[in-house]
Structure 1
Amino acid sequence: MGITEKIKELEDEMARTQKNKATEYHVGQLRAKIAKLRAQLLEPEKKSGAKGEGFDVMKAGEARVALIGFPSVGKSTLLSKITDTASVSAEYAFTTLTAIPGVLEYEGTRIQILDLPGIIEGAAQGKGRGRQVVSVAKTADLIMIMMDATKSTQQRQLLEHELEAVGIRLNKRKPDVVLKRKNGGGIVVTKAMGLTLTKIDEKMIKSILQGYKIHNCDVMVREDITVDEFIDVVLGSRKYTPALYCYNKIDSISMEEMDKLARQPHSVVISCEQDLNMEHLKDRIWEELALNRIYTKKRGEKPDLNDPLVVREGATIEAVCHQVHRSLVEKFKYAVVYGKSSKFSGGQKVGLNHKVAPDDVVTLFTKS
């Protein structure tokens, strides 16, 4: 029996099992087995796939956005509208047969956008070219899921299901759980002070770990997690990626339908055909990427506002140093910061751990 058949058999067994207190441990073990098999299903492709099968596109710019959707939703047209690259487009399905990169210039920063081939149902089982699509999606800083506003909302659920099956968690953060393997002493589970686990218990945690042949491990749980979230922690290969849901062809639906779509979390509505909402889409991409522009200036000179450094939200002076040159951290003495993160209008002297704010100006000082 192949891996796909084993997964189907376990899913059928889980569907047949009545969900109650008596069966929750059995269901938890089934979920763990399914997750383990899915990981095995995906891993061999990376090692044994034929040369040239994947979409090995060099990363460029300050961030990467993967554009994913079913065939013929307008991805290629969108890429040609908001970047400097013209992607092939046509009125029939499966036009894009390889990953096509484009660069979005946004207020002095460069964001790479990859137009990936139309994902289809069953991508997690390797149907079509879905396996390669999702492998590239895992390298993205943001996944933009493009949909046809005139079609069923089920398209969103199907795409989310495919990405979930290959270990991509959309708009979620990594569970606050620490696993530390050891040579002996069994499994020891510790909870944060005052924490009550309502969706999983110590017995289930130990059962899942033993299912993965982990018999000696310290587990520190700092939040109320689910069984699936704990399985994700054990596997360790999950990618937690922000997602933006982009609904195209709004010129073909009613105002009421458009308003309903636009009000959904992490969503934006556009029309490639009519050039509607394109500038707002660029703004939303920037917001969802959570990037900050930082400017540097030499002592006694004005800052160069035409050449910003781009760092992640919450980045420190150390990250700024790495952006300028990796050797700067070793030579770092102190920095002076001007802007929102500074306590004083005339600048503040700070160390490597100081968190910068959007549009801060930084002067770096090194040891002589």
Structure 2
Amino acid sequence: MATTVDKIKEIEAEMAKTQKNKATSFHLGQLKAKLAKLKRELLMPTGGGGGGGAGFDVARTGIASVGFIGFPSVGKSTLMSRLTGTHSEAAAYEFTTLTTVPGVVRYNGSKIQMLDLPGIIEGAKDGKGRGRQVIAVARSCQLIFIVLDVNKPLTDKRVIEAELEGFGIRLNKEPPNIVFKKKDKGGISITNTVPLTHLDHDEVRAVMSEYRISSADIAFRCDATVDDLIDVLEAPQRRYIPAIYVLNKIDAISIEELNILSRIPNAVPISSERGWNIDELLTEMWKKLNLVRVYTKPKGRAPDFEEPVVLRSNRCTVEDFCNAIHKSLVEDFRTAMVWGTSVKHQPQFVGLNHVLEDEDVISILKN
């Protein structure tokens, strides 16, 4: 009896030999939908527990978690030790780290958890090695460091991206702007506010057919692909996570080679062994995590610049800040005084909906 992995390989082979045109679009749409469903089965096997396994479940601390992903012996453990002071076993042979090793780095007044994960191998998404457990932990992180050896970065980068993609992780991407609403009747209604150059209505209906959806409203607000549509339907299994490509061991290459590699988007070149460029890596980490520091100013006292309230959000409002302190603050809230880049006047009185920016100072006035 064919396994799930065998079925996946059969569909991928059939897709590879099927030329895309108007006559085959419906068939290809069905194949892609079947492939997505089979990969979901692989990620969540029937009757299997959801835990990461011994050594993979770790207590979460800090405002955010950063997972280290990479092939064996690329320097993840050395980088972990350099950033956090946590001893993560490192040696000049492969598979030194066998479990998740947690550590904490304190940066800009906030605690950020670092998770050194065992090296993955090609085929991890198909169950090889400890790939499923490793990437299950990565899926729960707010940022991924993809650690690459500068001597072979592009090949390894492509393989790791394919492995993560196979686990439903979308790196440095936003969810597709597609509005999907299932209905009880009325058939499939498709609208688009921009021209669709990557898929046609036949492919959309093929995907809906494979998911046994006979009535729905689908509004495309971006030039989507059939994969984007499937991602919307598989939304609970998709994770959109920012990533930084950490190009390690730059002490082993020339300046000319480094200049070329530095053009890779979202990349930071470092030497974990020598401690080169670690500050830039931490700066980029902070930006990717979208963290906002807000300093408190008690009435009649100077602001506390030692212990900021750190919030994780693209739009941190005064209400978010109040809830982070205590929910009763919202109930007793009268107004707030804010100093910083989010206001025109210093200070300025604002309400609960005011959006705060990094390093604002706030004083809450209660009823």
Report the TM-score when normalising by structure 2.
0.94
More displaced stretch, 322-331 vs 72-81: 322-331
The within-5 A match list for 1:251-330 is 251-311=251-311, 312-330=313-331
Aligned CA distance change for structure 1 residues 349 and 46 (closer, same or farther; 3 Å): farther
Q: Does 1:230 align with 2:229?
A: yes
Equivalent residue number for residue 127 of structure 1? 128
| Contact 2:153-2:247 within 8 A present in 1 as well | no
Q: Describe the superposition over 1:90-130 as per-residue Cα deviations: whole angstroms up to 9, x where unpaired.
A: 11111111100111111211111100000111111111100
Cα deviation, residue 204, structure 1: 2.1
* 3-state SS, counterpart of residue 307 of structure 1: strand
Residue 352 of structure 1 pairs with residue 352 of structure 2: yes
1:45-71: CA deviation from partner (whole Å, max 9, x where unpaired)? 783368844611122111110100000
Q: Which residue of 2 aligns with 1:82?
A: 83
Residues 46 and 119 (structure 1), Cα distance of their counterparts in 2 relative to 1, 3 Å cut: farther
Alignment identity in percent?
49
Q: Which moved more, 1:144-153 or 1:53-62?
A: 53-62
CA distance in 1, matches of 2:176, 2:314: 20
SS in 1 for 2:12: helix
Q: Is the 8 A contact 1:209 1:234 kept in 2?
A: no
CA–CA separation in structure 2 for the residues paired with 1:277 and 1:152: 18
Q: Select between 207-216 and 62-71 the one with higher mean Cα deviation.
A: 207-216
Where do 5+ consecutive residues of structure 1 fail to align? none
SS at match of 1:101: strand
Q: TM-score, normalising length from structure 1?
A: 0.94
Question: How far off its partner does 1:213 sit?
Answer: 1.1
1:273-295 deviations in Å (ceiling 9; x for gaps): 22211222111211221212111
Give 4+ residue runs of structure 1 displaced > 6 Å after superposition. none
**Cα gap change, 1:190 to 1:357, in 2 (>3 Å):** same
**Bigger Cα displacement from structure 2, 1-10 vs 212-221:** 212-221
Partner of 2:71: 70
Instruction: Tell which deviates more after alignment, 250-259 or 273-282.
Output: 273-282
Is 1:248 the counterpart of 2:248? The answer is yes
Give yes or no for contact 2:8–2:38 (8 Å, CA) kept in 1.
yes
1:149-188 equivalence runs, <5 A: 149-151=150-152, 153-188=154-189
Mapped to 2, the partners of 1:333 and 1:219 lie a distance apart of 43
Deviation at 1:330, TM superposition (A): 3.6
CA distance in 2, matches of 1:103, 1:222: 40
Give the whole-Å Cα distance in 2 for the aligned partners of 1:137 and 1:74: 18
Q: CA contact under 8 A between 1:54 and 1:132: conserved in structure 2?
A: no
CA-atom RMSD, angstroms?
1.8
Would the alpha carbon gap of residues 53 and 39 (structure 1) be closer, same or farther in structure 2, given more than 3 Å must change?
farther
Q: Which residue of 2 aligns with 1:56?
A: 57
Distance in 2, matches of 1:315 and 1:140, equals 20
Given that residues 85 and 102 in structure 1 are in contact (C-alpha distance below 8 angstroms), is that contact kept between their aligned partners in structure 2? Answer: yes
For the pair 1:213 / 2:212, whether they are aligned, the reply is yes
DSSP-derived class of the 2:304 partner? coil
